[in-house]
Amino acid sequence: MTDPVAEPRILSAADVEAYLERHPRFFLNRSELFDRMAVPDRTMGDQVVDLQSVLLHRLREDHHQLKTVQRTLIQSARVNQQIQNRVHQAVLALLGARGFEQIIQVITGDLSLILDIDAVGLCLEATHGAADAIPGAVIRAGVQILQPGVTDQLIGPGRDVILRADVIGDPVLFGTSAAGLVRSDALVRLRFSQHSPAGLLALGARTPDAFNPGQGTELLAFLAGVIEHLVRAWLDLPE
């Protein structure tokens, strides 16, 4: 003969109270329970504010705000880490180039894949004497020739990087075929030498807010600095 199945024991209010008294830190790691808790409505007379309800309401609002901020920070940290890894990969690809023409190929052909963007433009201003400073290898597909002063007009005098959201891609920077994809871009000044034309690196994305003024520019400036140093080294240009 089998024993009858024992009926599950139903916890009483006294059991719950006794448990919480024995474990006073129970709610520290379970703050989400506050969102489902109800508090007694204490009637304290006309024109009397129930501070308990007000404080609990504020605690719940603070809890929601902290959770939102936490999720935003985590997502931002993940995105920043991804961008940093991609820039590091781009730098390694540039350092692995075995000649000046290969550096141009990495910039105009490989950077878009490595950085997970849609268009890259390497631009040089057609200043007087540019042909003597930069060899004819740069006057090729993927390198855009700008009118003198365009870099300052786009980025602004004294600035090195500008991020623009919700724009229409400029064929002058990205070429006719790639410009149609661009809806946000990053423009980075390139300073090769006092004796070479002004340069500009244009990075474009099809997402309108992939680049926006609220983002940091340190990694882009670092990438530009690596490109400048490598070009100077291969062309034996002065600082």
CA distance 239 to 236: 9
For residues 127 and 215, state if they share a domain.
yes
Q: Indicate the SS3 state at residue 84.
A: helix
Domain that holds residue 57: 14-41+49-95
Angle at 218 between CA 176 and CA 107, to 5 degrees: 35
Domain count along the chain: 2
For residues 27 and 58, state if they share a domain.
yes
pTM comes to: 0.67
For residues 186 and 122, state if they share a domain.
yes
Signed CA dihedral, 56, 58, 63, 64: sign only: positive
For residues 152 and 83, state if they share a domain.
no
Inside any domain, residue 6? no
**Which pLDDT belongs to residue 127?**
66
Q: Indicate the SS3 state at residue 88.
A: helix
**Which pLDDT belongs to residue 126?**
81
pLDDT digits (tens, 9 = 90+) for 17-43: 888 888 877 777 776 676 666 655 555
Inside any domain, residue 2? no
| Least confidently predicted of 76-90, 91-105, 122-136 | 122-136
The percent of the chain in helix, strand and coil, each rounded to the nearest 5, is 50, 10, 40
For residues 108 and 78, state if they share a domain.
no
Average pLDDT over residues 75-101: 86
For residues 53 and 113, state if they share a domain.
no
Tokens 């000044």 sit on residue: 189
What backbone torsions phi and psi does residue 107 show, to the nearest 5 degrees? -65, -50
Inside any domain, residue 1? no
Provide the β-strand partners of residue 120: 203
Specify whether the CB–CB gap between 179 and 169 falls below 8 A: yes
CA-based Rg of the chain, rounded to a whole angstrom? 30
CATH number at residue 224: 3.30.450.40
CA distance 123 to 189: 10
User: What is the rounded (10 degree) CA torsion for 173, 174, 179, 185?
Assistant: -70
CA distance 85 to 91: 10
Inside any domain, residue 5? no
> Which residues are CB-neighbours of 63 under 8 A, at least 6 positions away?
31, 32, 34, 35
Domain end (from 57, 72, 95) = 95
Inside any domain, residue 224? yes
pLDDT digits (tens, 9 = 90+) for 120-130: 999 988 865 44
Say how many Å lie between the first and final Cα of the chain, rounded: 97
Mean pLDDT of the chain: 81
Inside any domain, residue 150? yes
Average pLDDT over residues 74-93: 84
CA distance 215 to 163: 8
